[in-house]
Amino acid sequence: MGDTLEQAMTSVLEQVDETYEVLVVDDGSTDNSLQVLHKLSERYPELRYISLPRDKHRLLGETRNISIREARGEYVLPQFDCDDIYEPYIKDFVEVFHQIERCTEHHFYLKGNKLNIGQRDFMLKYGPYRNMFKEDRDMWVRLALDNALIPLLHENIFTRLPKSKVQLLKRLLFKTWAHLQADYRSNLIFFDPFKRLCARNSNRDYRVRILRCLYSPFAYITAKYMEPLPLPDSLVQGKLKVYWAEKQGTFNELMQRYNSAPDFTKLSQSGRTKFGNSNNN
């Protein structure tokens, strides 16, 4: 991700101060990512990075766990992507979280659009990720079982950096394979990809559905030699979508559920629009 790393990281580093730490885990990259991180760390004291030797047995989920275990703060905002530019609303998002937090009696994970936050120790209780790709959805399911996942509705606050056609193709091939293999580790039935290919109401891209069918025999066999990671039956097969629909809400709606009102004066002027009604000021 060396070609987009500096732009993405700068968009984050420019909007935080010394009360934040920006931690990057480099998982054995072979491009110029480490050089970019070193240059950025000289400009931004809030940036800290960890360089790991590549380990084929350590998948994305475990790499993300390393970042959370190594974090020094009480709260963590995981999963910043290295090909996204983030608009200046991180502090507003954190303020939204803390206002909701003060109204609740239990820990929770606030799931926004490309921004997420939870108490560090609470997240470590859930793993937080298992050693797999598709690690975020897997964690959402386990959080939802304990009623500890809150999806926040808000306006878009990021921009995806453009990629070449070759990069997009590689991403499509890799993600389709990795997600299918993760599905089989989670007890997906072998013929499920073929059923979805024929399903008229499937919302998957037709290219992904065809690739999943082509990959299926190989992904199924390789998954059998990996650690099984079954998901609870109570929240698979689309039931997570039901939970999501019931629990999601805007900042104002979520606060009303706790018989409270949001304090929009704590947000930036433009943040009041991004996270709620700009007239509530």
Query: pLDDT tens, 25-81?
Result: 999 999 999 999 999 999 999 999 999 999 988 999 999 999 999 999 999 999 899
Residue 71 maps to a domain: yes
Residue 204 maps to a domain: no
pTM above threshold 0.85: yes
Domain span holding position 12: 2-158+250-274
Cα(99)–Cα(266) distance, rounded to whole angstroms?
10
Residue 255, number of CB atoms within 10 A of its CB: 20
Confidence at 238, pLDDT banded by 50, 70, 90: low
Cα(84)–Cα(114) distance, rounded to whole angstroms?
9
Residue 219 maps to a domain: no
Residue 54 maps to a domain: yes
Note the pLDDT of residue 247.
Answer: 94
Residue 46 maps to a domain: yes
DSSP H or E run through 68: helix 60-70
| Both tokens assigned to 85 | 């530019």
Of 20, 133, 123, 33, the residue nearest 83 (C-alpha): 33
- What's 143's domain CATH number? 3.90.550.10
Handedness of CA 98, 235, 193, 196 (dihedral sign): negative
Q: Is the Cβ–Cβ distance between 154 and 275 less than 8 Å?
A: yes
In total, how many domains does the chain have? 1
Note the pLDDT of residue 18.
Answer: 92
Residue type, 41: S
Note the pLDDT of residue 22.
Answer: 97
The answer, yes or no, to whether residue 9 has pLDDT greater than 50, is yes
CA 165 to chain centre: 24
Over residues 128-173, the pLDDT tens digits come to 899 988 888 889 888 988 899 999 999 999 999 988 899 889 989 9
Over residues 110-122, the pLDDT tens digits come to 999 999 999 999 9
Residue 206 maps to a domain: no
Cα(160)–Cα(183) distance, rounded to whole angstroms?
26
Tell me if residue 25 falls in helix, strand or coil: strand
Task: Determine phi and psi for 86, rounding to 5 degrees.
Answer: -100, 130
The answer, yes or no, to whether residue 197 has pLDDT greater than 70, is no
Residue 43 maps to a domain: yes
Q: Where are the beta strands (DSSP E) in 126-272?
A: 149-151, 158-160
Note the pLDDT of residue 186.
Answer: 82
Cα(133)–Cα(155) distance, rounded to whole angstroms?
27
Q: Is the Cβ–Cβ distance between 196 and 204 less than 8 Å?
A: yes
Lowest mean pLDDT among 10-24, 91-105, 205-219: 205-219
The answer, yes or no, to whether residue 193 has pLDDT greater than 70, is no
Q: Are strands 109-111 and 116-119 parallel, antiparallel or unpaired?
A: antiparallel
Residue 259 maps to a domain: yes
